[in-house]
């Protein structure tokens, strides 16, 4: 009999490289290993073209010690149908179905390339607005069964660096980031944009860049 999504998810979690069957223990232990891999990426980021494969490669590096399917999207592990998650406020956020992941990803990352990877943003405020829009699209994709948030944050941090900005979304409290992402999925980008903008302004390098740009426009 064919497994449903819930049955397959439980098998994917319990059939892990750590050999742990208890989900709570697995979550605790897996975060130790993924934390080490995330720190590696702060020192040696994965090089890529800021496309779908680049995102997958980041996920693969973070979860290589934990999942046999690290770096594979939901379609590749057999989750072809609808996919959603409960937000802390009880609402359900629905993401792109597994069968549509590849086509939707190609569209999202093509838009990013056409926008010159956000390098043409006029200033810090414009960059925050553009990044919030892309982050909304990326979150709506939610391609992996687990680990989307951590993978997305690293990808977005590197995208900002490529555009000349310093960003560390890991400094934003998780609950605030989740709720901002939920609102963004409802096309209300204000809260997500504000969080990104505040984070950008917390780095001296960005403010110095803005001052330089301001002088050059005078």
- pLDDT at residue 27, as a whole number: 84
Query: In angstroms, how far is the first alpha carbon of the chain from the final one?
Result: 70
Please identify, in words, the CATH class of the domain defined by 5-217.
mainly alpha
Q: pLDDT tens digits for the chain (218 residues)?
A: 334 556 665 666 667 899 888 878 888 999 999 999 999 999 999 999 999 999 999 999 999 999 999 999 999 999 999 999 887 778 889 999 999 999 999 999 999 999 999 999 999 999 999 999 999 999 999 999 999 999 999 999 999 999 999 999 999 998 999 999 999 999 999 999 999 999 999 999 999 988 887 655 54
At residue 75, the pLDDT reads: 96
Q: What is the C-alpha to C-alpha distance for residues 168 and 75, in angstroms, rounded to an integer?
A: 30
Q: What would the 3-class secondary structure string for 158-171 be?
A: HHHHHCCCCCCHHH
DSSP assignments along 169-201, one per residue: GGGS-HHHHHHHHHHHHTT--HHHHHHHHHHHH
- Indicate yes or no: pTM above 0.85: yes
Q: 176-184: list long-range contacts, CB under 8 Å, 24+ apart.
A: 177/149, 178/87, 178/88, 178/149, 179/87, 179/88, 179/89, 181/93, 181/135, 181/136, 181/139, 182/87, 182/89, 182/91, 182/93, 184/132, 184/135, 184/136, 184/139
Residue 159: name the closest of 188, 128, 181, 182 by CA. Answer: 128
- Provide the pLDDT for residue 3: 43
Q: Please give the pLDDT value at position 67.
A: 93
* pLDDT value of position 21: 81
Distance set, CA 97 to CA 120, 128, 132, 137, 198 (Å): 32, 28, 22, 14, 33
């Amino acid at each position: 009999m064919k497994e449903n999504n819930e049955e397959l998810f439980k098998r994917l979690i319990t059939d892990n490289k750590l050999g742990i069957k208890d989900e709570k223990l697995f979550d605790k232990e897996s975060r130790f290993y993924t934390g080490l891999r995330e720190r590696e990426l702060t020192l040696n980021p994965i090089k890529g073209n800021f496309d779908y494969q680049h995102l997958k490669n980041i996920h693969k590096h973070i979860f290589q010690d934990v999942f046999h399917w690290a770096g594979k999207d939901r379609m590749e592990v057999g989750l072809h149908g609808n996919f959603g998650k409960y937000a802390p406020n009880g609402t359900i956020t629905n993401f792109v179905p597994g069968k549509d992941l590849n086509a939707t990803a190609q569209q999202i990352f093509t838009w990013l390339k056409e926008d010159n990877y956000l390098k043409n943003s006029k200033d810090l405020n414009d960059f925050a607005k553009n990044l919030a829009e892309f982050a909304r699209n990326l979150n709506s994709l939610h391609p992996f069964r687990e680990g989307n948030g951590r993978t997305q944050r690293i990808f977005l941090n590197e995208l900002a660096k490529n555009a000349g900005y310093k960003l560390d979304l890991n400094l934003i409290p998780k609950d605030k980031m989740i709720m901002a992402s939920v609102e963004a999925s409802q096309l209300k980008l204000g809260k997500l944009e504000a969080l990104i903008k505040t984070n950008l302004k917390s780095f001296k390098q960005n403010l110095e860049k803005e001052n330089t740009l301001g002088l050059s426009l005078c």
